[in-house]
Amino acid sequence: MIHYSRQSESAFDRLMVSSRSRPCDEATIRATVATGDCAAAAEPWVLLVAILASSISFIDESVVNVALPAIETDLGASVVVIQWLVNAYTLTLSAFLLLGGAAGDLFGRRRIFIAGVAIFAAASVWCGFSPNIAQLILARAIQGVGAALLIPCSLAIMAQLSTILSVAKQSEPGLASRPLQQPSAPC
Protein backbone atom coordinates (compact mmCIF):
# COMPACT_ATOMS: atom_id res chain seq x y z
CA MET A 1 0.00 0.00 0.00
CA ILE A 2 1.25 3.48 -0.78
CA HIS A 3 1.58 5.72 2.25
CA TYR A 4 1.11 9.47 2.02
CA SER A 5 2.21 12.31 4.23
CA ARG A 6 -1.28 13.73 4.88
CA GLN A 7 -3.32 11.90 7.52
CA SER A 8 -6.72 13.59 7.08
CA GLU A 9 -7.47 12.36 3.54
CA SER A 10 -10.02 9.72 2.69
CA ALA A 11 -8.96 6.32 1.30
CA PHE A 12 -9.75 7.39 -2.26
CA ASP A 13 -7.78 10.62 -1.93
CA ARG A 14 -4.78 8.63 -0.72
CA LEU A 15 -4.74 6.67 -3.99
CA MET A 16 -4.18 9.83 -6.00
CA VAL A 17 -1.89 12.67 -5.03
CA SER A 18 -4.10 15.21 -6.77
CA SER A 19 -6.42 15.06 -9.72
CA ARG A 20 -4.75 18.17 -11.11
CA SER A 21 -1.14 17.11 -10.59
CA ARG A 22 1.02 15.86 -13.43
CA PRO A 23 2.47 12.36 -12.91
CA CYS A 24 6.10 13.38 -13.49
CA ASP A 25 5.85 16.68 -11.65
CA GLU A 26 8.54 16.98 -8.96
CA ALA A 27 5.98 17.85 -6.27
CA THR A 28 3.93 14.77 -7.20
CA ILE A 29 6.97 12.53 -7.02
CA ARG A 30 8.04 13.96 -3.65
CA ALA A 31 4.48 13.86 -2.22
CA THR A 32 4.48 10.07 -1.97
CA VAL A 33 6.61 7.82 0.13
CA ALA A 34 7.80 4.57 -1.38
CA THR A 35 6.77 1.34 0.32
CA GLY A 36 10.39 0.21 0.54
CA ASP A 37 13.60 2.12 0.35
CA CYS A 38 15.75 1.44 -2.67
CA ALA A 39 19.39 0.89 -1.86
CA ALA A 40 21.74 3.16 -3.75
CA ALA A 41 23.46 0.11 -5.23
CA ALA A 42 20.13 -1.04 -6.72
CA GLU A 43 19.37 2.20 -8.58
CA PRO A 44 21.54 1.43 -11.65
CA TRP A 45 19.93 -2.02 -11.85
CA VAL A 46 16.45 -0.53 -11.62
CA LEU A 47 17.34 1.82 -14.45
CA LEU A 48 18.81 -1.02 -16.53
CA VAL A 49 15.75 -3.24 -16.05
CA ALA A 50 13.40 -0.38 -16.96
CA ILE A 51 15.38 0.39 -20.12
CA LEU A 52 15.59 -3.25 -21.17
CA ALA A 53 11.90 -3.91 -20.55
CA SER A 54 10.72 -0.97 -22.62
CA SER A 55 13.29 -1.74 -25.32
CA ILE A 56 12.26 -5.36 -25.66
CA SER A 57 8.63 -4.40 -26.11
CA PHE A 58 9.58 -2.07 -28.97
CA ILE A 59 12.03 -4.54 -30.51
CA ASP A 60 9.39 -7.28 -30.42
CA GLU A 61 7.36 -5.50 -33.07
CA SER A 62 10.35 -5.33 -35.44
CA VAL A 63 11.35 -8.96 -34.86
CA VAL A 64 7.90 -10.18 -35.90
CA ASN A 65 8.09 -8.15 -39.11
CA VAL A 66 11.34 -9.92 -39.98
CA ALA A 67 9.83 -13.34 -39.23
CA LEU A 68 6.58 -12.79 -41.18
CA PRO A 69 7.58 -14.78 -44.30
CA ALA A 70 8.58 -17.81 -42.22
CA ILE A 71 5.40 -17.56 -40.13
CA GLU A 72 3.31 -17.32 -43.29
CA THR A 73 4.78 -20.48 -44.79
CA ASP A 74 4.95 -22.51 -41.56
CA LEU A 75 1.37 -21.81 -40.49
CA GLY A 76 -0.09 -21.54 -44.00
CA ALA A 77 -1.62 -18.12 -43.41
CA SER A 78 -2.82 -15.60 -45.96
CA VAL A 79 -1.53 -12.04 -46.20
CA VAL A 80 -4.69 -10.68 -44.55
CA VAL A 81 -4.25 -12.97 -41.54
CA ILE A 82 -0.57 -12.04 -41.31
CA GLN A 83 -1.59 -8.38 -41.19
CA TRP A 84 -3.70 -9.20 -38.14
CA LEU A 85 -0.65 -10.80 -36.55
CA VAL A 86 1.12 -7.43 -36.68
CA ASN A 87 -1.97 -5.35 -35.94
CA ALA A 88 -3.05 -7.37 -32.89
CA TYR A 89 0.03 -6.25 -30.97
CA THR A 90 -0.03 -2.66 -32.21
CA LEU A 91 -3.77 -2.24 -31.66
CA THR A 92 -3.82 -3.51 -28.09
CA LEU A 93 -0.63 -1.64 -27.23
CA SER A 94 -2.05 1.67 -28.42
CA ALA A 95 -5.50 1.01 -26.93
CA PHE A 96 -4.24 0.22 -23.44
CA LEU A 97 -1.18 2.49 -23.22
CA LEU A 98 -2.92 5.33 -21.36
CA LEU A 99 -4.67 2.83 -19.11
CA GLY A 100 -1.28 1.36 -18.19
CA GLY A 101 0.06 4.78 -17.21
CA ALA A 102 -3.02 5.62 -15.17
CA ALA A 103 -2.89 2.23 -13.44
CA GLY A 104 0.76 2.88 -12.59
CA ASP A 105 -0.17 6.20 -11.01
CA LEU A 106 -3.03 4.67 -9.02
CA PHE A 107 -1.64 1.32 -7.93
CA GLY A 108 2.10 1.92 -8.03
CA ARG A 109 4.53 1.99 -10.92
CA ARG A 110 6.54 -0.96 -9.69
CA ARG A 111 3.48 -3.20 -9.23
CA ILE A 112 2.05 -2.43 -12.69
CA PHE A 113 5.50 -2.66 -14.28
CA ILE A 114 6.04 -6.14 -12.85
CA ALA A 115 2.53 -7.20 -13.90
CA GLY A 116 3.23 -5.91 -17.43
CA VAL A 117 6.54 -7.77 -17.63
CA ALA A 118 4.87 -10.98 -16.40
CA ILE A 119 2.01 -10.71 -18.91
CA PHE A 120 4.43 -9.85 -21.73
CA ALA A 121 6.73 -12.77 -20.86
CA ALA A 122 3.89 -15.29 -20.56
CA ALA A 123 2.40 -14.15 -23.86
CA SER A 124 5.83 -14.36 -25.50
CA VAL A 125 6.17 -17.98 -24.41
CA TRP A 126 2.66 -18.62 -25.72
CA CYS A 127 3.66 -17.05 -29.05
CA GLY A 128 6.61 -19.41 -29.28
CA PHE A 129 4.49 -22.51 -28.72
CA SER A 130 1.39 -21.48 -30.70
CA PRO A 131 0.33 -24.37 -32.95
CA ASN A 132 -1.88 -22.27 -35.23
CA ILE A 133 -2.31 -18.71 -36.42
CA ALA A 134 -5.42 -18.00 -34.33
CA GLN A 135 -3.57 -18.70 -31.07
CA LEU A 136 -0.58 -16.72 -32.29
CA ILE A 137 -2.75 -13.68 -33.02
CA LEU A 138 -4.42 -13.94 -29.60
CA ALA A 139 -1.05 -14.30 -27.87
CA ARG A 140 0.26 -11.25 -29.75
CA ALA A 141 -2.77 -9.24 -28.59
CA ILE A 142 -2.11 -10.22 -24.96
CA GLN A 143 1.55 -9.36 -25.51
CA GLY A 144 0.40 -5.87 -26.52
CA VAL A 145 -1.58 -5.54 -23.28
CA GLY A 146 1.51 -6.49 -21.27
CA ALA A 147 3.60 -3.98 -23.21
CA ALA A 148 0.96 -1.31 -22.61
CA LEU A 149 1.35 -1.86 -18.88
CA LEU A 150 5.13 -1.98 -18.75
CA ILE A 151 6.09 0.82 -21.17
CA PRO A 152 4.55 3.82 -19.36
CA CYS A 153 5.67 2.54 -15.96
CA SER A 154 9.23 1.91 -17.15
CA LEU A 155 9.39 5.39 -18.64
CA ALA A 156 7.98 6.90 -15.44
CA ILE A 157 10.53 5.00 -13.34
CA MET A 158 13.35 6.29 -15.55
CA ALA A 159 11.99 9.84 -15.32
CA GLN A 160 11.67 9.55 -11.55
CA LEU A 161 15.26 8.34 -11.17
CA SER A 162 16.59 11.12 -13.38
CA THR A 163 14.52 13.73 -11.49
CA ILE A 164 15.84 12.51 -8.16
CA LEU A 165 19.39 12.60 -9.49
CA SER A 166 19.04 16.09 -11.00
CA VAL A 167 17.50 17.46 -7.79
CA ALA A 168 20.36 15.90 -5.84
CA LYS A 169 22.92 17.52 -8.14
CA GLN A 170 21.31 20.95 -7.81
CA SER A 171 20.80 20.86 -4.06
CA GLU A 172 24.31 19.91 -3.03
CA PRO A 173 27.45 19.53 -5.15
CA GLY A 174 28.93 16.08 -4.86
CA LEU A 175 25.64 14.60 -3.66
CA ALA A 176 25.08 12.79 -6.95
CA SER A 177 28.12 10.60 -6.30
CA ARG A 178 26.80 9.53 -2.89
CA PRO A 179 23.94 7.04 -2.39
CA LEU A 180 20.50 8.63 -2.71
CA GLN A 181 18.39 8.57 0.44
CA GLN A 182 15.20 9.93 -1.13
CA PRO A 183 11.88 8.73 0.31
CA SER A 184 10.39 8.54 -3.19
CA ALA A 185 12.83 5.99 -4.62
CA PRO A 186 11.00 3.93 -7.27
CA CYS A 187 12.12 0.47 -6.10
With respect to residue 40, please indicate whether it lies within any of the assigned structural domains. Answer: no
Q: Which H or E element spans position 58?
A: helix 43-75
Query: Residue 82 above 60 pLDDT?
Result: yes
Count structural domains, the chain.
1
Least confident of 10-19, 43-52, 76-85, 119-128: 10-19
pLDDT digits (tens, 9 = 90+) for 145-162: 999 999 999 999 888 887
- Residue 62: predicted pLDDT: 86
pLDDT digits (tens, 9 = 90+) for 14-61: 444 555 666 566 666 565 555 445 666 677 788 888 899 989 988 988
Q: What is the pTM of this model?
A: 0.70
Q: How confident is the model at residue 121 (pLDDT cuts 50, 70, 90)?
A: very high
- Across the chain, mean pLDDT equals 78
With respect to residue 60, please indicate whether it lies within any of the assigned structural domains. Answer: yes
Mapped onto helix, strand or coil, the DSSP state of residue 8 is coil
- Residue 6: predicted pLDDT: 44
CATH of the domain at 169: 1.20.1250.20
With respect to residue 24, please indicate whether it lies within any of the assigned structural domains. Answer: no
- Residue 161: predicted pLDDT: 81
With respect to residue 28, please indicate whether it lies within any of the assigned structural domains. Answer: no
With respect to residue 17, please indicate whether it lies within any of the assigned structural domains. Answer: no
For residue 161, the enclosing domain spans 48-177
Cβ–Cβ under 8 Å, residues 140 and 123: yes
With respect to residue 70, please indicate whether it lies within any of the assigned structural domains. Answer: yes
Query: Residue 137 above 60 pLDDT?
Result: yes
Percent of the chain with pLDDT strictly greater than 70: 65
- Residue 123: predicted pLDDT: 97
- Residue 160: predicted pLDDT: 83
